[in-house]
């Protein structure tokens, strides 16, 4: 067969929910670069459609976008019926731990009912392959470290995490009840960093407390200082310890997960995506200062409800099963060109930094 035709016949279509969001947009770059066609929906509650324009500029390829809420099941069905979809990657969710404790019903409705609507549309259109964005929060306050996939889940410390746990349980039940389902739940640890072009990054429309963008805002003087929540945790320096993973490594993990779904019938399989290397908030700040030569003033505040001391994974199963290897170190996640440090990126309003993470390594 002519090589062009053979390539075309292999092109598969991925339906991505939450595709204008932080992780979704970076993942779409990888999907397009790997030759997948992408249909994406987002309700733009925590992102902007401009992210997809930049994805198209970076890749030179088109993305089909619908502004659509997963709670609008009828429209989701119509979109599914219009396209021939092979896989779903389900990123769309509300994700702020603190907000979820204040507005639990909104979180249960958005995340759990939204997923039920998606599953119904998939079933109605004979689509059974799915990668679900889960989270290390399903492990709660871990009983032992590093956390493997066999660690018990469910003793979750916040509402956001409980929505992820409930969805995992629902997907597990579904895969037990109906043989056709083939689902990988990727339990992310802490995604940070941005596309090396500096054209994409973490650009939320809501207030955020994630460490990396927060430090970025202090670095450029948009915030006077960093508030560190909790200085009395049972960790070497008293601040929370997390396992950071570069968002582009996370993105390539999803592409590997689609390949895995093609090769094996897994029913439901949870896999950790993390490096297995714990970094405290204070270590993070010091490393950032060392790399950028910018002083980050900080103050301590009490612990936040729902936070835990340490979340560090054993990521070896995910790497082995997905034949995937994260390649960006913590230094790469923090590093960007000092000469561009204070450049105001014309497109990334929330972040205002060129995260030129790879260029120097
Ligand atoms: N960023 C993290 O630290 C982290 C860690 C673990 C897991 N996750 C999970 O990864 C996924 C992506 O996270 P992110 O950091 O890219 O968040 P994000 O907020 O940047 O992206 C999520 C997107 O989903 C959209 N969305 C929310 N509810 C929707 C709905 N009902 N219908 C349609 N669109 C909707 C939002 O507008 C947003 O663009 C989420 O499921 C999140 O829970 C994120």
- Tens of pLDDT, residue by residue over 194-209, are 898 888 988 888 877 7
Which of 48, 95, 187 has the most ligand 1 atoms within 8 A of CB, as the residue to mutate? Answer: 95
Q: Given phi > 0 = left and psi -120 to 50 = alpha, else beta, which region is 341?
A: alpha
| CATH of 12-209+228-340 given 3.40.50.720, 3.40.395.10, 3.20.20.70, 3.40.50.150 | 3.40.50.720
Average pLDDT of the chain is 89
69 lines ligand 1 (CB under 6 A): yes
Q: Answer whether residue 47 shows pLDDT above 80.
A: yes
Residue 42 beta carbon below 6 angstroms from any ligand 1 atom: yes
Reduced to 3 DSSP states, what percent helix, strand and coil does the chain have, rounded to the nearest 5? 40, 15, 45
CB count within 10 Å of CB 283 equals: 16
Q: Is the CB of 326 under 6 A from ligand 1?
A: no
- pLDDT, average across residues 268-276: 97
The two structure tokens encoding residue 287 = 């490393």
What is the reported pLDDT for 248?
A: 95
What is the H or E stretch that residue 208 is in? Answer: none
84-127 pLDDT, tens per residue? 999 999 999 999 998 999 999 999 999 999 999 999 999 999 99
DSSP 358: T
CB-count burial class (<10 Å; 0-12, 13-18, 19+) for 1: exposed
160 annotated active-site: yes
- 357 pLDDT band (50/70/90 cuts)? very low
Q: Which residue, judged by its Cα, is nearest atom 21 of ligand 1?
A: 21
Tell me if 230 CB under 6 Å of ligand 1: no
d(CA 195, CA 55): 10
**Alpha carbon separation from 114 to 121, 184, 245, 254, 314 (Å, rounded):** 11, 18, 27, 21, 30
Cα 93 to Cα 65, 71, 108, 141, 317, distances in angstroms:
17, 11, 10, 22, 26
Residues forming a β-bridge with 245: 191
Q: Which residue has the higher pLDDT, 242 or 216?
A: 242
Place of tokens 């032992």: 144
- Catalytic annotation, pick one of 87, 160, 233, 354: 160
Burial 157-186 (b: 16+ CB within 10 A, else e): bbbbbbbbbbbbeebbebbeeeeebbbbbb
3-state secondary structure (DSSP) of residue 134: strand
Q: What are 291-350's pLDDT values in tens digits?
A: 888 999 999 999 988 899 999 999 999 999 999 999 997 776 765 433 333 443 333 333
Residue 291's pLDDT is 83
Read off the pLDDT of each residue in 272-280 and give the average, rounded to a whole number: 96
Distances (CA, A) of 84 to 10, 80, 317: 13, 7, 32
- Helix H or strand E segment including 131: strand 129-135
Instruction: Give the atom of ligand 1 at the shortest distance from the alpha carbon of 210.
Output: 3
Q: How far is the CA of 146 from the centre of ligand 1 (A)?
A: 25
Reported as a pLDDT band with limits 50, 70 and 90, residue 222 is: confident
pLDDT above 90: residue 220: no
pLDDT score recorded for residue 261: 98
Task: Report the alpha-carbon distance of residue 165 to residue 184 in Å, rounded.
Answer: 14
Q: Is the CB of 244 under 6 A from ligand 1?
A: no
The answer to whether residue 61 scores a pLDDT higher than 60 is yes
Name the least confident of 183-192, 214-223, 262-271: 214-223
Angle of helix 114-124 relative to helix 73-82, nearest 10 degrees? 30
DSSP 313: B
Strand-strand pairing, 37-42 and 13-17: parallel
Q: If you write DSSP's letter for every residue of 146-181 in order, what string do you get?
A: SBPTTS-----SSHHHHHHHHHHHHHHHHHHH-TT-
Cβ neighbors of 53 (< 8 A, separation 6 or more) are none
pLDDT at 7: 46
Residue 295's pLDDT is 94
Instruction: Give the domain ranges of the chain.
Output: 12-209+228-340
Structure tokens at 244: 């950071």
């Amino acid at each position: 067969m002519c090589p062009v035709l053979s390539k075309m016949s292999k092109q598969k279509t991925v339906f991505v929910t939450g595709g204008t969001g932080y992780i979704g947009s970076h993942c779409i770059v990888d999907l397009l670069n790997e030759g997948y066609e992408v249909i994406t929906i987002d309700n733009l509650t925590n992102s902007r459609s401009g992210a997809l324009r930049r994805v198209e500029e970076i890749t030179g390829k088109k993305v089909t976008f619908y502004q659509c809420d997963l709670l609008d099941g009828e429209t989701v069905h119509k979109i599914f019926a219009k396209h021939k979809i092979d896989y779903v990657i389900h990123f769309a969710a509300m994700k702020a731990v603190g907000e979820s404790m204040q507005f639990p019903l909104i979180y249960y409705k958005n995340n759990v009912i939204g997923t039920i609507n998606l599953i119904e549309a998939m079933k109605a259109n004979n689509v059974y392959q799915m990668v679900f964005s889960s989270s290390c929060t399903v492990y709660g306050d871990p009983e032992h470290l590093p956390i493997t996939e066999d660690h018990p889940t469910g003793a979750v410390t916040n509402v956001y995490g409980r929505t992820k746990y409930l969805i995992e349980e629902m997907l597990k039940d579904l895969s037990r009840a109906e043989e056709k389902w083939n689902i990988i739940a990727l339990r992310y640890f802490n995604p940070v960093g941005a596309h090396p072009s500096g054209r994409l990054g973490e650009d939320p429309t809501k207030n955020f407390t994630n460490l990396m963008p927060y430090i970025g805002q202090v670095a450029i003087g948009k915030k006077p200082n960093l508030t560190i929540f909790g200085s009395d945790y049972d960790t070497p320096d008293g601040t929370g310890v997390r396992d950071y993973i570069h968002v582009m490594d996370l993105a390539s993990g999803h592409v590997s997960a689609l390949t895995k779904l093609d090769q094996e019938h897994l029913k439901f399989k949870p896999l950790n995506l993390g490096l297995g290397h714990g970094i405290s908030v204070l270590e993070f700040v010091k490393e950032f200062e060392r790399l950028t030569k910018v002083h980050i003033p900080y103050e301590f505040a009490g612990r936040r409800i729902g936070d835990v001391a340490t979340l560090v994974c054993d990521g070896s199963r995910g790497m082995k099963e997905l034949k995937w290897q994260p390649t960006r170190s913590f230094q790469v996640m923090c590093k960007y060109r000092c000469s561009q440090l204070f450049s105001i990126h014309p497109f990334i309003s929330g972040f205002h930094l060129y995260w030129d993470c790879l260029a120097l390594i």
